[in-house]
Amino acid sequence: MSVFDDPGLFGRLWAADYDDGDTNPDPAPAVDFLADLADGGPVLELAIGTGRVALPLAERGLAVHGVEASEEMLAHLRAKPGGERIPVVVADMADVPVEGEFRLAYLVFNTLFNLVDAERQADCFRNVARVLSPGGAFVIETFVPDPRTFDSDEQVQVRAVTEESATIRLHKYDRPEQRFIRQTITFDADGVHLKPFAMRYAWPHQIDEMAQRAGLRLTERYADWHRRPFQADSPSHISVYRAE
């Protein structure tokens, strides 16, 4: 199945390494930020993954629920202390297949862009709006696309070289569709190993439009989890949308 059609593919390929290396930013600032907004909960994490954010929030006494497309990611969450106590629905996060009203829902670490179709991104906003309590918050963290980097990103990048293996990474951008596909290729004694990945990126104003169509309004925007001011040259943003 194509990387553009299988919401669980990323987790199946990357779950074993997800908590390591450059895929593992420190979750503490995000946890502090989200805990401040949770208003006692309950809280919903879309693409809960291995629980890097959900488990610390649960440790603060919040009732955390999750949606995750990958059984492999979920297995890593369940193996961690407290992971078995977090209710998780295995499904495409755009469907938000949960019941009840949540004071907070969130999508961190660019995960909104893992929905590689514009309509599915819009579906995600509509479905989150359906399960938020009045005044509840939906928090998004994504990078801000910078077309100046696209040409350089399409070059071959050497990721790792040892005596036993070599890993390279390649990107290919589809600018009209605002999508890219990335292939990470490892060569070792066992052969060639492929780890494809795709994203559909969007600029902050486009994300705001999706939120507005879903009945959510932007109330706060920051450059990072430390609430530094968002500026025109900020490489990422933390945006808070509220249900009416």
pLDDT top residue among 57 and 149: 57
pLDDT top residue among 3 and 131: 131
Q: Which domains does the chain have, with CATH numbers?
A: 3-145+202-243 (3.40.50.150), 147-199 (2.20.25.570)
Residue 11 has pLDDT above 90, yes or no: no
Residue 10 has pLDDT above 70, yes or no: no
Residue 194 has pLDDT above 60, yes or no: yes
Residue 156 has pLDDT above 90, yes or no: no
**C-alpha to C-alpha distances, 160 to 3, 46, 164, 180, nearest whole angstrom:** 24, 31, 11, 22
Instruction: Confirm if 70 and 10 have CB atoms less than 8 A apart.
Output: yes
Q: Mean pLDDT across the stretch 64-78?
A: 92
CB-facing half-sphere around the CA of 229: CA atoms within 13 A: 2
Q: Give percent of the chain with pLDDT exceeding 70.
A: 90
Confidence at 149, pLDDT banded by 50, 70, 90? confident
Q: Mean pLDDT across the stretch 211-240?
A: 97
Q: Mean pLDDT across the stretch 99-107?
A: 95
Spell out the alpha helix ranges (H) of 8-117: 9-14, 28-37, 54-59, 71-78
Residues 6+ apart with CB under 8 A from 150: 171, 173, 175, 180
pLDDT top residue among 73 and 45: 45
Task: List the structure tokens of 196.
Answer: 């494809």
Say what the pTM is: 0.89
Residue 5 has pLDDT above 80, yes or no: no
Confidence at 221, pLDDT banded by 50, 70, 90? very high
Q: Mean pLDDT across the stretch 208-223?
A: 98
Q: Mean pLDDT across the stretch 121-141?
A: 97
Residue 8 has pLDDT above 90, yes or no: no
**C-alpha to C-alpha distances, 89 to 25, 48, 67, 163, 182, nearest whole angstrom:** 25, 10, 5, 42, 28
Task: List the structure tokens of 155.
Answer: 């070059």
Give 44's strand partners. 65, 105
Give 46's strand partners. 67
Residue 173 has pLDDT above 80, yes or no: yes
- Given this model, what pLDDT does residue 4 score? 57
Residue 117 has pLDDT above 90, yes or no: yes
Residue 6 has pLDDT above 90, yes or no: no
